[in-house]
Each structure stands twice: as C-alpha cells, then as structure tokens.
Chains A and B, each alone.
Chain A
Amino acid sequence: MLIRKLFRTAWSYKAQFISMVIMITLGMGMFLGFNMEWKSIEVDTGKFFEDTNYADYRLYSEKGFTTDDLDKISDIDGVDAATRYLSVNLDIKGEKNKSLALDVSENYTVSTFIVTDGEEYDKNGDGFWLSDKFAAANDYELGDTLTLEFQGTEITGKIVGLIKAGEHMICVADKNQMMPDYSTYGYAYISPKKLRETVKTKLRDNIIAELEKSGVPKEMLDESVNTLMTDETINEALDKVYAQVNLLSDLSKETLEDSVKNALGRTIMVTSKDDHVAYKESNGEAEEGKTMGSVLPVLFLLIAILTMVTTMHRIATKEKTQIGTLKALGFKNRRILRHYTSYGLFIGLVGTALGVALGYAVCKAIMSEGGMMGTYFDMPDWGAAIPEFCYPVMAATIILLTLISYLSVRSQLKGTAADALRPYTPKKMRKTLLERFRFWDKLHFGTKWNIRDLSRHKSRSAMTLFGIIGCMVLMVGGLGMRDTLTGFLDLLDNDISNYTTKVNLIDDADLEKSKELYKELGGDWESLTGISLDGDTIALDIVHNPNDLFNVIDEDNNRIELSDEGVYLCLRLKDRAEVGDEIEFSPYGSKDTYTAKVIGYNRSIMTESVTMTDAFADKLGIDYSISSIYTDKKTNEIASNDLISGKQDKAQLMDSFNSFVQIMDSMVIILVIAAVILGIVVLYNLGVMSYVERSRELATLKVLGFRNRAIGKLLISQNIWLTFIGVIIGLPAGVGVLYWLLTALAGEYEMKLMLGPLTYCVSILLTFGVSLLVGLMVARKNKKIDMVEALKCAE
C-alpha cells in the first residue's frame, strides 16, 4: 500500500521528483562521462600500446647504430627487447602534398603493428603495410602500387596489408601539427629486407656517381661497383640509416642512459615514451580528462546533491500532516521513516541508473571511433571503462540521497502524533541587516518583500544562487576554453608565424649547405635539438629571425628582439631560474656542457624550450644544424633539394587545427547545453518551490487587487536579482576555474587565458535568459492561483 503511496506522492510532486532525477542524472552522467573518458583513453591506448610493443625508450644517434651496438644494448640488464629502427618522412611519388612516415622495425620485437586487412607481417616481405586510415582517406586498396621518394631513391612496392601502429597512434608530421590529417599524411612499414634492398640501390647509385665523377670508364663501372659493394659497405650504409634503437625496458631513464653510455662508450640521446608523441599526447589527453573530470562534473554532482537536500526537506515539511496522519493511524516511526526514506533511495537509484546511461553516452561522444577522439587517435579498440573510484561514488551518492530523505523525515517525526499533525510553521520573521539602513524605508514593498523572502528561505536562495553560479561557471569555462584555443591558434597564425611555407630539412643537414639554401629562400630559420637541463629533456631552439617570419614572443605575445647575450627560458621553465641566473645544459649526443645567462622569458606554445640566437650559439660554440627554414615563397616555388625533407604550407598547417577546434566545439556545446539544463532544472525546481510556499501570500495579493502581471513581476524580479548576484560571482569564478584548468593543462601547451567579449555576452545573456524563461514559466502559474482555496487555510 505504502509503495502505491510512494508513486502517487512522487506524481503529486512530479516537478520536484523529475527535477531531482534530472539533476542526479545530469550530475552523475557528467561525472561518469568525463571520468570514463580519461579512463577509457588510459585503458584503450594502454592495451593498444601493449599489443604493438610500443617502445619505452628511443635511442638516437647521428652516426646510426651497428648490429654490434644493438647487441650491447640488448645485453643491458633490464632491457627486455630492442630493435634497430627507422622512421623517416617521405613524399609519395605522383601525389601532391602527400607524405608518409616510413618505418622499419628490424627484428620486429618492438614498435610493431596490428594488421586490420591483408597479409600478416613478413620480415622478408616486399610490400608496404600501410596505415588503414591513410588508405581510406586516399582511396588506396590492397594490391595498389606505391612509390616513395627518398633522397633521390625510389622505394616501390605493393600494398600488402592495412595496419594500425602504436608508434603512430597520433599521426602527425610535425611538432606544430596538432591533429592528424590522413588525407595528406600517414605512415607505412616495410620489412628490413626491403630497406636493405633500398639502401643497396642507393649505395650503388652513389658509387656509380662517384666513379663517373672520378673518370672511371663505363665498361669498368660494373666491375668496380661489384668490388666496392661488399656486405661490409652495405652494412655500413645500413647502420647509418638505422639512426634509432627502440627498446622495451622498465629501467629509469637515468639508469638506462648510464648503462647505454657504458655499453657503447659514447653519450646517446635517450628519450622515454613520455616524450614520444603518441604516448605523451594520449597521456596528456587522459590527464586533461582527469582535470576536467575533477572539476566541472563534480560541480554538477554537488549542485545535484545540494538541490536534493533543499527539495527533500521541503517535501518532508509539506508531507508533515500526512506523516502525522500515518503516525496517528498507528504506523510505527520506523515504518514511516522507511517509507519516506525510500523516496531518496528511489530518486538515487533511478537518477544513478540514468546517469550511467548518460555517462556512457557522453564518454562515447568523446571517446569512440566516430566521436571526437576518433579524429585524433587511430586505434582498433574503443571500449568504455569506468574508473574504479566511480563505483564507491555512485554508491555513496545513493546512500547520501537516502540519508538526506531519512534526516529530512526524521526531523518531522519528532514529538507526538499530534505535534506531527500540526501543520509546518515557517521560521519566525526577523529583520534583515539591510533594514538598519535608512534607504530601506524608501524601498518599494515588492523589493522589501523579496529581500525578506530571500533571507527567510536562506537555503532555497543559496541553492538558487549556487545553481546560477554553476551555470555561469560552466558557460564561462566552456566558452572561455574555446576563446583561449582560438586565441592560441591566432597567436600561432598571426603573431608567431608570418611565413608562407615551412621548409623542413633532413636531420643533421650540413650547416653550410643549409645556409646556402636559406640564402636562396630568404626568411628565418630555426634549429631544434634536444638538451638535458637538470636531467630533463628540453628543446634547444636556436633562432635566426631577422625577417619577422618566425617570431619568438614574450608573455604579452609581443615579438622579442632576441639579444645575443644569453638565453630565454619558456614561461613553463620560469621557476627554474631568475633573469640573471646561469643555467647549465648539455646537448644530447655531446659530452660538452654549456653555461648561459638567462636574459628573459618567452612564450613557447608547444615544446618546453630554451631559446637563443644563432650568434649566441656560435659564441658558445654549440654544434647545430638547421631544422626548418621559414620562407615567403610558396611550396611550388621551392625546388626539391637533398636537404629538404618536407615542405609545409602554413595555411594547410592551420587547417589541420580545425578538427582540434571542432573537438573543442563539441565539448563546449556539451558543457553549454549541460549548463542551460542545469540552470533551468535548478531554477525551475526552486522557483516552483518558492511559488508553492508563497502561494498563500500571492493569493492574498491577488485578493487585495494586485494584477497577475504585477505579481508575476515580483516573482521574476527575485529570480533576476539572484541571477544578477549569481552572474557577478559566477563570472570571476568561471574565469578562476578556467585559469586553474589552463594551469593544470600547461604541461602540454602553453595557453594564455583569453575571453572574448562574446563569451561574456553569451554567458551573461544565456544565464539571464534561462532565469527569465524559468521566471516566466513559474509566473504563468500565477494565473491559476485559486484565491478562495489559498485563503481558507491557516499558515
């Protein structure tokens, strides 16, 4: 019988019940959704990395690694597997603006791939194993022939398999490319045998060219070539090509560095997977998700629970006479408690169940092949995983909700049945603080009425305020993120990059030849290498930028005219050294240590870096090679050259950011929609509550001769005031949360908090709009007030 009552009571308080369920659903859904997102990233990418033997460490050597080197490295205690590795960017012959990273894992124990279609890996195979996403984006099919150009040598073969590789889970060509663009860039693997063949061909070509140059007669060429092309020379050439060793190991970076140095007798640049794009970025995404998951969704959940406290308390007080009746009928307190407590349990269970569904949907919207991350990560499995701590949170929420209704009802059960039967008497009215001031008497009665009503129902007012602040924080946070990202891209597009084309040079390009090329192309150049600073891998950015095509900017995004007297630290390294301090660093692959004075800080938007001019680098005597030339020339005006490894159109590069902006947009839309729903539900719920509580007063006003409009205005003005206060608090709170988020995310990118006027306008207008809409919805009820009914009962 009481169960029937439960459902009927729920129906009679449907606005409250539905809004509580929605709030819990929304709170739980957002909480689970965002937390499932990062957990799924961790689990899914983790599994993919394990399945493809993703390298823990990558060793780089300009001279390359010999098989002997590899053996020595493999013999190090704690190294589980190691392979010589090659990864190089190559253009596809006959295709404009399409290139591939060509990878070879010599013994295929580390950095392998999963075949999604076609032949399994064969170390003697002659074909290409091509990225399935690249194939799909460019209409390549199994059996098609592909020709790559590598410094004048062609590599041709059939596509024998379509694959996904952990190494290229985030397939970007350049450190400045945020998002993969499979229509222009992908990856492929070939077997070590095919690489050997290619190296052999190239070696033969080189030898022939050399012999011809030195005047060896044509008829002697073949013989001379055969004499010179020994296994030894081929292996030597191959050793140079394998500039990388990938390995699996649990050793710490320092230990490995030392062990490698001892084993090989030279310093080798060791980078851990933390510095490799796929691991670093997916980890970054997970961390980002954790940060997001720990703030905004928790805010939702908190608001949901607080709304529940207020609403349950009101329902319990409204049910007071019913509770008294049950008590008078002879129901034991325990049974009544159990009955009313089940309301909270019911709401908790339904809300949580729906919340899990919503959470799953939110997680899937972000973390699925067709979702936002689908354009970023390329991996086979897209399962959804719930972080373990979410289960106790779910249980605790349900228990808490049950407890809230238990406590609300218990307070009504105190005393005798007669006490409980007496209707609920609201708190006695006391003068508010404002009444001490003179201006009080001058206020309109409606203003006084509303102010006193707010102070009389503090928890309701506080909850409304909290809802509005929450709504505002979410909107400012969401829209502000977008502004910041747009600002960031603007910065990259307009303040940092003024070039037309970025010409990437091959690794260790000869400095003199590079400078000649630079003279021909004009513009600016930069050299990026790895250095070790206090044991951390950081980029050393040597810049020559007299022509403003590539700018180094300060904290306020203005171009720094770089001085030749010292180094600039990026803002993220600010706490490492003060201006005037000296830092000590050593380039990878070199035993030399350099000391330089810090003369300023710059905003490096992507990598953590130490920046200096080429003149200062020369002064210190640092060896470097130019990595990129930034020029005004268009890509088609730049002739191919042995030094050039790739050309990137700036417009094209900026286009690749679009999908990143789209991801952000979807997140922002989710947040803004959630904020609007949150605002509507919280305000409507509390508005209806306020309306019901004041219905007798409203009826009295109506009887006295107040028009519906005037009464409606009273109701709406209270909402508008609270919204006004909420906006005033919510705006800086939103900016604060955003600032905190950006600081938490600063490990990955360095973004300057930016909020456009539109964000302020949209957030404020939407919040006021929601408040006004709900106010009107509640005020409409006003017409239906039954004056006669409302006046009959005593307060």
Chain B
Amino acid sequence: MSIVQFEKVTRVYTSGEHELKALDQVSFTLDEGKFVVILGPSGAGKSTLLNLLGGLDSPTDGTITVNGRDISTLSDNELADYRAATVGFVFQFYNLIPTLTVYENVELVSTISPDAIDAKQMIAEVGLTDHLHNFPSELSGGEQQRVSIARALAKNPKILLCDEPTGALDSDTGVMVLKLLLSMAKNYGKTIVIVTHNQSIAKMADVVIRVKNGKIRSIAEQENPMSADEVEW
C-alpha cells in the first residue's frame, strides 16, 4: 500500500530575478514499511524532496499525498500538526536542544504528538538509559544521534526522514547508528527515507531513488538488500 505519493511536484526558488528549479515535475510513490534511500550529488534536489515530504517546505506546483492526505496546500499550523503526528526527523547534526537533558529532549515530543511512546522506553531501546540526565554536550556524536533517533521514533510517526544521518560520524559509529535506525524502524514498522550521497547506504535499501538536476533519474527496487554488516564502508 502506498503511503507517499508525489505527483508532478515542482519547487522553484526565486532570488531576485533568478529562478532555480530545485525539483522539476517529480512523480513517484513509496510503499509503507519500506526502507528508501534517495541518492544524488550535491544540489541534485534530494534535500528539497525530503523537506517537501517532511512538511518543512511547500511545492510550487503539483501535489504531495501522505497517508491519504494532500499536504501541499496545508497552512503553517496544519503543517506543524502534520510534522508533529506523521513524520520523525533525524538530522546530520542531530539538532538536539542543548539546554535539555537526554530524557527531556525525547520527552519534549510527547507534549505535541497525539500518539507518543514513553520517552524512557525509547531511550532504553537506543541504549542510553545511563545517560538519561546528561546534556547533549556531554555525549559523543554517535550518542547524540541515538538520542535524535529516539526522539524521532518517540513521536510514533508514520515515516522517519533522515538527512545524511551518518554524515557527521566516523564510519564505525555511522554503521552502528544505521543498524540501530534500521532495526528500530523495522521493529516499529516505520517507513524510512534516508537522503544521502553515500552509495554504500543505498545497498541496504528496499528502494533507491536517484536524483539529478531536480529530476528523478531512476527508481530501483532491490529484492535482496544487504545488511549493514555485509556492506563495505
């Protein structure tokens, strides 16, 4: 069953007299519970795609349907509610609130998500129970990213969106974080979309969407994706 549907989506950025078409008539559908990797070089439009899907941005043209709801015409507040209930984000630089502890960072989303999962349970699942009351600045990069994953999943979203989630980590930590991300998404039955330029991650995906110059070059379904341990990093 498809959970995401992009139909002729165009996003144009204007700056003065200049127009930049970041996405040009993009159409695709994603099925529920899949692990999707969007691959492409810098400036290809992959982040724009993720931002549109995440409700951080609205398309100039076309429609985006998520879980049966058209999100391309939502107001600011409706988009905020959409982000609170439907999508979870994991960022390259973790984006934790520096003034809140690990527990508070995860707990934070329970105040806005209608269907939130217990924060302590999520923290336990990412293996950070010992760091419950630490501030982000007291954690390593990998640990911070695990908090970020716990926070994203604590909202109990339909889709997990990850923007270069291993981009700021060394490769060992990156693999560990990826493994955790995938296993947790699987356990909770989430659709997961990762934007990256790292080809190795693509090998683990169910679906690989390649983007270039604002257009989709190819959409490939992989019948037997590799596990993180099998991939050469």
* A contact residues vs B (CB 8 Å cutoff): 426, 428-430, 444-445, 448-449, 452-453, 456, 696-697, 699-710, 783, 787-788, 791-795
Contact in complex: B99, A696 (CB < 8 Å):
no
Q: In the complex, what residue of chain A is closest to B96 when comparing beta carbons?
A: A700
In Å, the complex CA distance between A96 and B8 comes to: 95
Q: B80 at interface (Cβ–Cβ under 8 A)?
A: yes
Min C-beta distance of A453 to chain B, whole Å: 5
Tell me which of A453, A702, A709, A710 contacts B99 (CB under 8 A).
A453
- Name the residue of chain B whose CB is nearest to the CB of A427: B137
Q: Are B109 and A426 in contact (CB under 8 A)?
A: no
The answer to whether B168 touches A794 (Cβ under 8 A) is yes
Contacts of B112 in A (CB 8 A): 704-706, 710
A445 to B76, CA, bound (A): 23
Tell me which residues from 151 to 183 in chain B have a Cβ below 8 Å from any Cβ of chain A: 151, 155, 163, 168
Tell whether, in the assembled complex, residue B89 and residue A703 are in contact, meaning their CB atoms are under 8 Å apart.
Answer: yes
Q: Cα distance A777–B232 when bound, in Å?
A: 53
Contact (Cβ within 8 A) B93 A795: yes
Residue of A nearest to B151 (CB): A704
9 additional contacts (CB under 8 A) given A703-B89, A708-B76: A449-B99, A697-B98, A700-B96, A703-B56, A703-B95, A704-B84, A705-B112, A706-B112, A791-B163
Interface residues of B in 188-206 (CB under 8 A from A): none
Q: A697-B98, A703-B89 are in contact. Are A448 and B83 (CB under 8 A)?
A: no
Q: A703-B56, A703-B83 are in contact. Are A795 and B155 (CB under 8 A)?
A: no
**A–B Cβ pairs within 8 angstroms, 20 of them:** A428-B138, A429-B136, A429-B137, A445-B104, A448-B99, A448-B100, A449-B97, A449-B99, A700-B96, A703-B54, A704-B112, A705-B113, A706-B80, A707-B77, A707-B81, A708-B76, A709-B77, A792-B93, A793-B93, A794-B168
B6 at the interface (CB under 8 A from A): no
Shortest distance between the CB of A788 and any CB in chain B (Å): 5
- CB of A697 within 8 A of CB of B93, answer no
B143 interfacial contact with A, CB 8 Å: no
Q: How many A-B residue pairs have CB under 8 A?
A: 90
Residues 114-152 of B contacting A (Cβ, < 8 Å): 135-138, 151
Q: Which 6 A-B pairs have the closest CB atoms?
A: A705-B84, A452-B99, A705-B83, A429-B135, A794-B93, A707-B80
Contacts of A701 in B (CB 8 A): 97
Q: Given A448-B104, A706-B112: A428 and B95 within 8 A (CB)?
A: no
| CB-CB nearest in chain B for A707 | B80
Query: Which residues from chain B contact A448 at a C-beta distance below 8 Å?
Result: 99-100, 104
Interface: B51 (CB within 8 A): yes
- Using known A-B contacts A445-B108, A704-B112, A706-B80, determine if residue A791 contacts B135 with beta carbons closer than 8 Å: no
Which residues of chain A are near B168, meaning CB under 8 Å? 794
Cα distance A697–B109 in the bound complex, in angstroms = 14
Q: Which residue of chain A lies nearest to B113 when distances are taken between CB atoms in the complex? A: A705
Contact B83 A445 (CB under 8 A): no
In the complex the two chains form, is A428's CB within 8 Å of B135's CB? yes
B91 interface residue (CB < 8 Å to A): yes
**B95 adjacent to A429 (CB under 8 Å):** no
Question: Residue of A at shortest CB range from B51?
Answer: A788
Please tell me if the beta carbons of A704 and B56 are within 8 angstroms of each other in the complex.
no
CB <8 Å contact, A452 and B100: yes
> How far does the alpha carbon of A653 sit from the alpha carbon of B54 in the complex, in Å?
77
Instruction: Give the interface of B toward A (CB within 8 A).
Output: 47, 51, 54, 56-57, 76-77, 80-85, 89, 91, 93, 95-100, 104, 107-109, 111-113, 135-138, 151, 155, 163, 168
In contact, B111 and A445 (Cβ under 8 angstroms)? yes
Q: Are B83 and A788 in contact (CB under 8 A)?
A: no
Choice from B47, B82, B93 contacting A788 with Cβ under 8 Å: B47
Give the distance in Å from the alpha carbon of A654 to the alpha carbon of B164 in the complex: 80
Asked if B80 contacts A700 (CB within 8 A), the reply is no
| B135 lies within 8 A of A456 (CB) | no
Q: Across the interface, which residues of A come within 8 angstroms of B57, CB to CB? A: 788
| Complexed CA–CA distance, A792 and B51 (Å) | 12
CB proximity of A435 to chain B, nearest CB, Å: 9
Q: Complex: how many Å from CA A794 to CA B89?
A: 16
Given A448-B104, A783-B76, also A791-B111 (CB < 8 A): no
The answer to whether B54 and A791 touch across the interface, beta carbons within 8 angstroms, is: no
Q: Which residue of A lies closest to B93 (CB)?
A: A794
The distance in angstroms between the C-alpha atoms of A791 and B81, with both chains bound, is 19
Flag if A704 contacts B138 (CB, 8 Å).
no
Cα-based distance from A704 to B94 in the complex (angstroms): 12
Chain B residues positioned under 8 Å from A792 (CB to CB): 93
Contacts of B111 in A (CB 8 A): 444-445
**Could you tell me the distance between the alpha carbons of A702 and B111 in the complex, rounded to whole angstroms?**
13
Assess the A704–B109 pair: CB atoms within 8 A: yes
Q: Are A705 and B100 in contact (CB under 8 A)?
A: no
Would you give the shortest CB distance from B163 to chain A, in whole angstroms?
Answer: 8
Which chain A residues lie closer than 8 Å to B100 at the CB level?
445, 448-449, 452
Min CB gap B57→A, angstroms: 7
Complex formed: what's the CA distance from A700 to B90 in Å? 11
CB distance from A417 to the nearest CB of B (A): 23
Closest partner residue, chain A, to B78 (CB atom): A707
Who on chain A is nearest to B108 by CB?
Answer: A445
- Cα of A445 to Cα of B99 in the assembled complex, Å: 10
**Chain B nearest CB: distance from A437 CB in Å?**
14
A430 to B112, CA, bound (A): 26
Q: How many angstroms between the C-alpha atoms of A783 and B79 in the bound complex?
A: 13
Give the complex CA separation of A707 and B99 in angstroms: 20
Q: Assess whether A456 is in contact with B99, with CB atoms less than 8 Å apart.
A: yes
CB distance B137 to A702 under 8 Å?
Answer: no
CA distance A710 to B83 in the complex (A): 14
Given A445-B104, A704-B109, A705-B109, decide whether A795 and B98 contact each other with a Cβ distance below 8 A.
yes
- Complex: A709 Cα to B112 Cα, angstroms: 13
Q: Report the minimum CB–CB distance from B123 to chain A (whole Å).
A: 15
Complex interface: chain B residues within 8 A of A700 (CB):
95-97
